[in-house]
Structure 1
Amino acid sequence: SPLCFAVPGLCFLLSLSGVVAQKTKGTCTHCPQNAFCVNATHCTCNHGYNSESREKYFTYRFETCEDIDECKPPISIYCGVNAECQNTIGSFYCHCIAGYKLLSGKAQFSNSNENTCQSKKIFYKRNTTSTVTAILQRVELKVLETALKTPDQEIQKVQKSTVAVETRVVTDNCSEGVTFSLNAQVNSMKIHCNDVIQGNIQGASAVAFISYSSLGNIINATFFEEMNEKDQVYLKSQVVSAAIGPKKNTSLSQPVILSFQHMKVKPGVENFCVYWKGTKEGGRWSKDGCALTQVNETHTICSSTHLSSFAVLMALRGQEEDPALTMITYVGLSLSLLCLLLAALTFLLCKAIQNTSTSLHLQLSLCLFLAHLLFLTAIDRTENKVLCAIIAGALHYLYLASFTWMLLEGLHLFLTARNLAVVNYSSVNKLIKWLMFPVGYGVPAVIVAISAASRPHLYGTRDRCWLHLDQKFIWAFLGPVCAIICVNFVFFLMVFWILKRKLSSLNSEVSTIRNIKMLTLKAAAQLFILGCTWFLGLLQVGPAARVMAYLFTIINSLQGVFIFLVYCLLSQQVQKWFGEIIKSKSESEAYTLSSRFGPDSKPSQVKRKY
């Protein structure tokens, strides 16, 4: 322009401002990646992206669009329980956490409304029950179709290793009061004829009774809808199915009667008649419409108002906690722990009674103290199965060690009594000291190691961290305990016999003999107190269970009190030691008082003297 020739510097400034204007006011033809044009004038980022300047609409051609992380603040997409958010470039998705799976089987979903994350265990159980429900229905349908194809064969039977079937075809009207009885394997069914022909259906009708020998291993008692966490429920019979065709029945005029032979026999259980209830989620055992009519040692009779697949369940009910027993346990064991601690300190510090026998009492007190402490604080820590098994193993070891130390006490008493004629008892003491720790702590360790290696899964029950009753595993503890009690009983009888014989011939050793006799009586009483506890625990069944539970708890809480009372408080040497401690403490207090007031009294005495 003419102005540019006149003023060149001005033209330079104008051209520079034009470049800046072009930079700040670009058109839609220059929208960056991951953005699109709006009204042919501005650009905006695609969904899932934000502009670097955080402006929704922009014209700057060098603007960039960055991915939004929807899984982090401030958005933090919520995917629902057992699920988490996963960011992707420009978007996100939800997925189930480890150990969970969508019911649809898909790997991901969009939002919490689509969340169907289920535990894989539950997921596979639902798949299993859905499959079983479908199989049961198909088998019933196929069996009925086969029976109706040959109506001239009134009764048909099939016996296989896994399934047994009996069908009955009815072509005529029913006589009054007629019922049909069908048998399959060891089970049977009775059904009224009128329910088979179902009123005015034209043509033949059929009823089928099917018994499955191994289906119960798949749809076992864990599928019982009323199962409580503390209950132990088992399948007691085979699974059977009952069906009517060609039209599926909706209701029965009279209940069908089912007889089951028991596959498992356990006394003192509760029995349930159940049927397989198909649901959208798969299926489960239910008691609806099923009633228990009769039960004996070998068979259970059930009645049902509808036809389906049936079985008998048995439940070992978990015992409800008694507040009084809980209180006795905590108070009693706390008192026992205090007494055991005082007894151990007495055995350690009182030099007047320190000998081999006292060393045995000390180890027994320590084992019982640790066992009671662990019992009191961790017996019901069943949340973690591995930890519970370790606690059960530790209790097994500590209680066995307690009985082993009692066995060593019995052996020591027997050897001492046998060597009464010998002036020097050092040989007895050397033998016991040599056997003491290897036997006292080694033998229980070997027993627990063998038990844990052979059946580790039986350490810890549903309610307590103790030995399981299944497969008679409790005898890994009760067996050695019974053996120790029997051996010690023999030792005590032999000691009393020896002492009786010695009393008549060794008048000079009467006091020694009487001391041994008294010690033997104390050890026998101690063995009775500790052994009696576990036998009372075994008797906690039937009508007397509650009484035995109270006796078990009370006597168990007295173990530490008994040891402290008999071996410490009733011992003349310990009483003398306690007296010396009290006397020295009194003298120390008197000396402290005299030293405190002494300087004030001396000057007055001196003044009066002069």
Structure 2
Amino acid sequence: MSYNTMENLLKPDFFNTSNDTIKTMMSTVISATLPKTTNTKLTKPVNFTLKHIREFDPNGSLSCVYWNISEWIVDGCSVLETNSSYTVCSCVHLSTFALILQTSRPSDVREHVRQSDSLLELLNLVCVIVGLVFFSLALLTFALCQWSPGVNNVARINICVSLLLAHLLFLLTQQFLSLIRPHQELCAVISGVLHFLFLSGFVWMFIEAVLLFICVKNLSQISSKKREVLSSGFLCVIGYTVALVVVGVSVGLLPEGYGSEHCWIQRDKGLIWSFLGPVCVILALNMILFISIAISLCLTLTKLNAEVSQMKQTKIMVFKTLAQFVVLGCSWILGFFTNDRKELEILFLILNSQQGTFIFLVYCVFNNEVRQQFRKFFRCLCCGLKPNNIKSVQKKS
């Protein structure tokens, strides 16, 4: 079978090579199968001729490739002969095939790409460090402040814990990758731990979205609802057990899928979907819940009387609603559209490294209860009271 426009979907950029080259699709995408048989092994290689659909550059390097789940790879395929019009490929298996030409980038383009990658790495380092600082500040605030019985912060706390550990481990791994990479077992363990931490972070984002949805829909009954149905222990079981089960099954089914060159899940083994699959489901559900929450808040604002619905309060509510888009992980959807688009890649990097910043702003800086408790705390310090007397002052207040 021949697919005339499939090269627009299965792009040549999915051919991952170590060298920095321009990749061009030189043929249509074709598939070859043996009907009515379960035998996937060939007694001898199959040869097929691919006609060039673009002008051939003799200085380039041609590769016969086949599609393996998420990328083009060469394993088992080779070029037998080629000329300006066609190329003969030989493969030891049947699959979906194509012909990709690699040509060298101009020196000025290579230098520009190298500088761009360096700036992106620096931006990534700065953003992750800033995000880690605000994750820590948010956790410190949650630990120091007294909360009313009707407020359930268990999801926010565990989002901070999971993503703080995940980003910190990932940052340290990339900084010392040259030392870690030779030890394949250590690299595989790190990738498994990262898989668990990031996945648990997404599960907690979904739990937070559910709690917010309940809060918006049932503002008057939220306290009793949370005590009866969504207790902290019950949430912790869900938040970490789901991620643990997914990672455990993945390790049991395909342990060699952990430990890529960047100490992450290997893409060519198919195991990457044990992460992308749950993440896609959670992002889709969180987007639905976020839209429902935003609509409910808009309806609530329109019902407020003129005295309460002030412009300042409205602006804060709009900011909190937009910040929830990042807190609930909805901005991770940008990751599916960042291919070769630096501006989207930078936006994706900034937003998703700053989830801790948005959590700190929404639930600490703009939280009246937190501000009041910090005022009391500093008032006690100014009065020369000891920290253990603060609670009695709060009771009197």
TM over 0.5: yes
Quote the RMSD (CA, aligned, Å): 4.1
Instruction: Please name the residue that 1:221 is paired with.
Output: none
Instruction: Please name the residue that 1:336 is paired with.
Output: 131
Counterpart CA distance in 2 for 1:361 and 1:331 is: 23
Give the aligned residue type for 1:339.
F
Counterpart CA distance in 2 for 1:555 and 1:483 is: 20
Deviation at 1:567, TM superposition (A): 1.3
Task: Return closer, same or farther for 1:466/1:582 CA change in 2, 3 Å cut-off.
Answer: same
Deviation at 1:550, TM superposition (A): 2.6
Deviation at 1:435, TM superposition (A): 2.8
The Cα offsets for residues 200-239 of structure 1, whole Å up to 9 and x where unpaired, read as: xxxxxxxxxxxxxxxx9xxxxxxxxxxxxxxx97357446
C-alpha contact 1:415 1:428 (8 A) present in aligned 2? no
Give the aligned residue type for 1:414.
F
Please state whether the residue corresponding to 2:88 is helix, strand or coil.
strand
Q: Determine whether 1:560 maps to 2:388.
A: no
Q: Return the match for 1:363 from 149, 154, 158.
A: 158
Deviation at 1:344, TM superposition (A): 0.5
Q: Return the match for 1:470 from 263, 268, 271.
A: 268
Q: Determine whether 1:443 maps to 2:229.
A: no
Q: Determine whether 1:428 maps to 2:290.
A: no
Task: Return closer, same or farther for 1:521/1:369 CA change in 2, 3 Å cut-off.
Answer: same
Q: Return the match for 2:208 from 400, 404, 409.
A: 409
Q: Return the match for 1:259 from 87, 92, 98.
A: 87
Deviation at 1:553, TM superposition (A): 2.7
Report which structure shows greater RCO (CA 8 Å, sep ≥6).
Answer: 2
C-alpha contact 1:533 1:555 (8 A) present in aligned 2? yes
The Cα offsets for residues 255-305 of structure 1, whole Å up to 9 and x where unpaired, read as: 999722475768896549xxxxxxxxxxxxxxxxxxxxxxxxxxxxxxxxx
**After alignment, is 450-459 or 577-586 more displaced?**
577-586
Deviation at 1:357, TM superposition (A): 2.8
Counterpart CA distance in 2 for 1:521 and 1:535 is: 20
C-alpha contact 1:374 1:395 (8 A) present in aligned 2? yes
Q: Return the match for 2:44 from 162, 165, 170.
A: 162
Please state whether the residue corresponding to 1:351 is helix, strand or coil.
coil
Task: Return closer, same or farther for 1:551/1:488 CA change in 2, 3 Å cut-off.
Answer: closer
Structure with the largest fraction of helix: 2
Task: Return closer, same or farther for 1:323/1:257 CA change in 2, 3 Å cut-off.
Answer: closer
Structural mapping, 1:368-383, within 5 Å: 368-379=163-174, 380=177, 381-383=180-182
Deviation at 1:443, TM superposition (A): 0.9
Give the aligned residue type for 2:241.
G
Please state whether the residue corresponding to 1:473 is helix, strand or coil.
coil
Gaps of 5+ in 1: 1-159, 165-184, 189-215, 217-231, 243-254, 273-318, 590-610
Instruction: Please name the residue that 2:186 is paired with.
Output: 387
Counterpart CA distance in 1 for 2:320 and 2:98 is: 40
Deviation at 1:474, TM superposition (A): 2.5
Instruction: Please name the residue that 1:30 is paired with.
Output: none
Task: Return closer, same or farther for 1:257/1:571 CA change in 2, 3 Å cut-off.
Answer: closer
Structural mapping, 1:75-474, within 5 Å: 161-162=43-44, 185-187=47-49, 234-235=74-75, 237-238=77-78, 240=80, 259-261=87-89, 263=91, 270-271=101-102, 322-352=117-147, 355-379=150-174, 380=177, 381-420=180-219, 422=221, 425-433=223-231, 434-462=233-261, 464-474=262-272
Q: Return the match for 1:490 from 259, 277, 288.
A: 288
Task: Return closer, same or farther for 1:569/1:534 CA change in 2, 3 Å cut-off.
Answer: same
Please state whether the residue corresponding to 1:466 is helix, strand or coil.
coil
Q: Return the match for 2:278 from 463, 475, 480.
A: 480
Deviation at 1:582, TM superposition (A): 2.6
Please state whether the residue corresponding to 2:74 is helix, strand or coil.
strand
Gaps of 5+ in 2: 1-41, 51-63, 65-71, 104-112, 386-397
Counterpart CA distance in 1 for 2:334 and 2:302 is: 40
Identity of aligned residues (%): 31
Task: Return closer, same or farther for 1:369/1:531 CA change in 2, 3 Å cut-off.
Answer: same
The Cα offsets for residues 382-434 of structure 1, whole Å up to 9 and x where unpaired, read as: 22111111111111111111111121112222333443464x73233331115
Q: How many residue pairs align between the two structures?
A: 301
**After alignment, is 411-420 or 429-438 more displaced?**
411-420
* Bigger-Rg structure (1/2): 1
Counterpart CA distance in 1 for 2:165 and 2:369 is: 27
Structure with the largest fraction of strand: 1
Q: Determine whether 1:569 maps to 2:345.
A: no
